[in-house]
Every structure is written in structure tokens, then in C-alpha cells.
Amino acid sequence: MLDDDTLVSAPDLVFSFSIWKQFPDQIVGFVPRKHISTPSGIYSYGSFELQNPEGGNGDKYSMVLIGAAFFHRTYLEKFQKLPSEVHSLIDETQNCDDIAMNFVVAKHTRRPSGVFVKPVDMRNRERDASSGYTGMWHRAEHLLQRSYCLNKLADIYGSMPLQYSNIMISQFGFPSYANHMSKN
């Protein structure tokens, strides 16, 4: 699956597809996110770098966004059969379909929902100043809305199925995966 505002290089797509073939029951993609639980039991949504107040580590993730990802088509069928409350939440917020998909995969596998592949060349159209395109994540309420969705989905399902992972796969090694692009 690839959102219309995302550009991923052909080598990155080929590489990530080869990784997905090794992890066909998980979402394999380029954009990790995480949830953290506050001491009061409320979940917050954030980026890969979001620090857990208990552990402090920012190197784990619990979701892989589906806007640039591979996943098995049976998850689309499972997604269609989600409780009506989930579809209403997505319609109400015009958001959170990717969080719901991570719930689907995590509940099905009882493991982390995704595998993060570090892209070499991935761009977003809205970052190109001349495109005139602006996405939902620019809205002030975006992160609050995503946190709301996490909590609502956990309520609907009666639990939090998302699990953390720290697997990061790169074509060129870590941490200097992009050095092949420099001209020394």
C-alpha cells in the first residue's frame, strides 16, 4: 500500500518487499510510531523518538503506518469485518485507519504488528514547498486525535494488543545507512 502523497524509491520498495516475504504475517513498512501509557493508564501516540516516562527509551515502536507498507491482503478482509464502532471512529475522525490496522495485525498474531525498514530514499509531497499539498498531520489536533483513537480502540477491544519492537532493517547497515549517497 502506498499513499498518493508518498514517494518511495524502486530499490526501497523491492528491498522492503523481500523483507515482507520473510515476515508475511506482519506489516512491513517505512514509518514507525509508538504508543506509551501514562501512569493513569491513558495512551499517548507519538513518533519513534517519543520517550516512555517509565523506561526513557525512544528506540522502540509499536506500530508501522500503512501509508507506505506491505501487508497481507487477508488483513484487508479482517479490517472490513471490524466492529461497527471502529468504522464509526474512523469515519468520525477521518483518521486512525492505520492504527486500527495495527490493532488487527497485533490481535491476529499476538506479536508486534510491524517490522520497520529504514528507507534510503523516501519523500513526502507535502514537504516539497512548491506542491501546495498539506496533509492531516499538519493539523494542530492531529496527535491528540491519534491518542484519542488509541484509547478508543483499546476500549472497544477491551485491551491494548500493540506490542513493542526494536527491529530495524536497513539495506546498508546501521547507523550509517545513508553514507552511500555522499560523494567523498
Residues labelled catalytic: 98
Dist. CA 70–CA 1, nearest whole Å: 6
Instruction: Write the CA distances from 183 to 119, 171, 172, 180, integer angstroms.
Output: 19, 18, 16, 8
- The answer to whether the peptide bond before residue 32 is cis (omega within 30 degrees of 0) is no
Instruction: Tell me the three-class secondary structure of 94-112, residue by residue.
Output: CCCHHHHHHHHHHHHHCCC
Burial 100-123, CB ≥16 within 10 A → b, else e: bbbbbbbebeeebbbbbbbbbebe
Nearest to 122 by CA among 32, 20, 53, 23: 32
In this structure, the strands spanning 63-64 and 69-70 are unpaired
Nearest to 115 by CA among 13, 24, 10: 24
